[in-house]
Amino acid sequence: MRFIASFAFFLSIVFLCSLPASEKRTVYFTPLPMKNEQKTIEEFLPLVDYMQKESNFTIKFKYEKDYKDILEGFKQHTIDMAYLGPLPFAILMSQYPHVKPIISFRQKDGSVKYRCVISKYEKDELDLNVPIKVALTQPLSTCGYFMTKQLLQKRYGIPLENQLFKYTMSHTNALLGVLQEKFLIAGSSEDIAMKHESLGMQIIEKSELLPGFAIVVNTQTLKKEEIDAITQTLLLIPKSRYAKWGNKMAHGMVPADEKSYESLFIDYSIPNEGNMP
């Protein structure tokens, strides 16, 4: 099996290296829209630069401000590769089956999984007899409406749809909204919530471990040999390189487990807008 895998990788490299420089393959890559465009692109520049030097690809950023635009880009064949969270990937798979996760990113502890949480300010008291103001990230963020709904039900037995909620467009904005007394509860990822504990934020409920963020590819726009070459290029990045690349990539990558995303079943619609000004 090792020989077969090695031979397959060898063929993919031969295929790509046989292309003349004038035919260098352009791959359009979309990173997750969590911050402003410049900062988001800067985070992924080291990875993109490495791929361009170590493979026969030209990687071009195609920045989108919303998850919905990323999903549409895959369908319209204008996006070849993206960095996505588990919920956007699961939704994309349900609408467009020609997508495949190839790489998952390790957390600091070595795991490729993470948790969503809900938090409140430690001194705030909640009156469950009136609607609670809830700060969310983005509609298709895994730790947004999707997991916050489940965690509120688990912790307090209250449905999110009966509360007052608003999309703040980032995990940090949601948490800061509580600190600014605009909301009582914020939904976010555990790691970002923990960074705000010193400011008085308190995690009150956690999700189970969820499949991690991944590099996913469009199997309708990329050939199998190209996908294999991209995968192997990423897996062979030495630790001495990726350890310098920042939080998302500093702990390395492993082959993605596509089956781990099957548990993200959604039997309700996620509203595109909040229900408060």
Summarize pLDDT for 137-161 with one digit per residue, the tens. 988 889 999 999 999 999 999 999 9
Statement to judge: residues 233 and 158 lie in one domain: no
Same-domain status, 104 and 219: yes
- Domain co-membership, 176 together with 252: no
Instruction: Record the pTM.
Output: 0.76
Return all residues near 1 (Cβ < 8 A) that are at least 6 apart. none
pLDDT surpasses 90 at 190: yes
pLDDT in tens, 55-83: 889 999 999 988 789 989 999 999 999 99
Identify whether residues 172 and 136 lie together within a single domain: yes
* 131 shares its domain with 253: no
Residue 234 has phi, psi (to 5 degrees) of -70, -40
Greater confidence, 103 or 246? 103
Domain edge (last residue) among 206, 226, 249: 206
Residue 148, in any domain of the structure: yes
Same domain, 19 and 88: yes
Range of the domain at 75: 2-111+211-263
- Is 167 part of a structural domain of the chain? yes
Q: Is the pLDDT of residue 8 over 80?
A: no
Q: Is the pLDDT score of 246 beyond 90?
A: no
- How much is the average pLDDT of 47-57? 92
Q: Domain for residue 54, yes or no? A: yes
First to last CA, the chain: 58
Burial class (CB in 10 A: 0-12, 13-18, 19+), 12: buried
* 271 in any annotated domain: no
Within a domain: 256: yes
pLDDT on residue 4: 43
What is the arithmetic mean of pLDDT over 10-22? 46
* Residue bearing the bigger pLDDT, 124 or 32: 124
Domain boundary among 166, 185, 206: 206
Residues ≥6 apart with Cβ < 8 Å to 156: 126, 128
Residue 248's pLDDT is what?
A: 79
Residue with tokens 């190839």, as numbered in its chain: 102
Residues 90 and 221 in one domain: yes
What is the average pLDDT across 249-255? 92
pLDDT tens profile 198-221: 999 999 999 999 998 999 999 999
Residue 59 lies in a domain: yes
Q: What is the CATH number of the domain that holds 79?
A: 3.40.190.10
Mean pLDDT score, 39-43: 86
CA distance 118 to 171: 11
Are residues 103 and 38 both part of a single domain?
A: yes
| 35 domain-assigned | yes
- Is the domain of 99 the same as that of 169? no
Supply the angle between the helices 67-75 and 86-95 in degrees, to the nearest 10: 40
Give the burial string for 24-53 (b: 16+ CB within 10 Å, else e). ebebbbbbbbbeeeeebeebbebbbebbbe
- Compare 41 and 178 and report the one with higher pLDDT: 178
Q: For the residues 9-31, what does the mean pLDDT come to? A: 63
Looking at the 3D structure of the chain, how many domains does it have?
2
> What is the reported pLDDT for 94?
87
Contacts of 271 (CB under 8 A, 6+ apart): 139, 145
Share of the chain above pLDDT 90, in %: 68
State which of 158, 187, 206 marks the end of a domain.
Answer: 206
Residue written as token pair 């190209």: 226
Residues 218 and 198 in one domain: no
The yes-or-no verdict on residue 235 having pLDDT over 90 is: yes
